[in-house]
Amino acid sequence: MFILTPETIWNPHVLEMRQVPRRIFGRVMIFPRRGAGVGLWARLIFEMEVLRYLLALVPFLVLAVLYPRYAGAIAQAPLPMLVVIYFFEAKVLRLPREQAKRLAPAAEVERGLDLLRVRAVAVLGKIAAGRGLAEGRLHLVVEQSDLWRMAPLTLVSVQAEAGAGQARPEVLRLTEAERGLVAGLFDADFSERDLLRINLASNDCLRDVAFDVRGVSAHARLAALLG
């Protein structure tokens, strides 16, 4: 999981938004700041479609090297290349739709989404209480890559509508303590892979949990103040 805030990436301008939720995958490329592991960098780079297409076309390059007399013919065969790219993207990296539906039954999808909602509301409530917000709506946005046969890549951010202490919608800057709250969203009982199964089964990899900060209890506000 990568917690997405202006402080955790080198190019925070890509987080500018007009409405909540702000989508990332397939729209912009993010560059994590120092501290991001090689695995995260590799996984983010692999999300670039152009690089995956080039990887799928490696067999054609190998054939052109092994059989140089046919290199011209190989280079001028776009249809087989398109077929290979499609197979690699749709069959190797992703699951066919019917197979994806069988990853999780409807009851499991509902239970998983309910658990995500409960945890997200708890996180947003603590963030709102800690900031002393009195009105507006916060959103905990969880977006996952739909590549099933790769390690799950999950981007989590807290986004605020205009009016939630903000002049316009934006991805919030989170303190270290707030990022610690968000980091507890997943655990051994409900992992990123569990959510990915649910998302693929229901064909929706963007989850947006909204929270009206007026719902923060007086007890939570007092606890935040004392803390």
What is the total residue count of the chain? 227
Backbone dihedral angles phi then psi of residue 165, each to the nearest 5 degrees: 75, 10
pLDDT in tens, 95-150: 999 999 999 999 999 999 999 999 999 999 999 988 888 888 999 999 999 999 89
pLDDT band at 75 (very low <50, low <70, confident <90, very high): confident
Question: What rounded mean pLDDT belongs to the chain?
Answer: 89
Considering only residues 208 and 38, tell me which one the structure prediction assigns the higher pLDDT.
208
Q: What are residue 208's DSSP bridge partners?
A: 141
Three-state SS letters, 114-153: HHHHHHHHHHHHHHHHHHCCCCCEEEEEEEECCCCCCCCC
Q: Is the dihedral of CA 93, 102, 191, 217 positive or negative?
A: positive
Contact 155, 208 (CB under 8 A): no
Amino acid found at 32: P
Torsion of CA 40, 41, 47, 52, to 10 degrees: -120
DSSP 8-state symbol, 213: G
Contact 44, 30 (CB under 8 A): yes
Per-residue pLDDT averaged across 182-203, rounded? Answer: 96
pLDDT in tens, 9-34: 999 999 998 889 999 998 899 999 87
Strands (E), the chain: 2-3, 137-144, 154-160, 170-171, 206-212
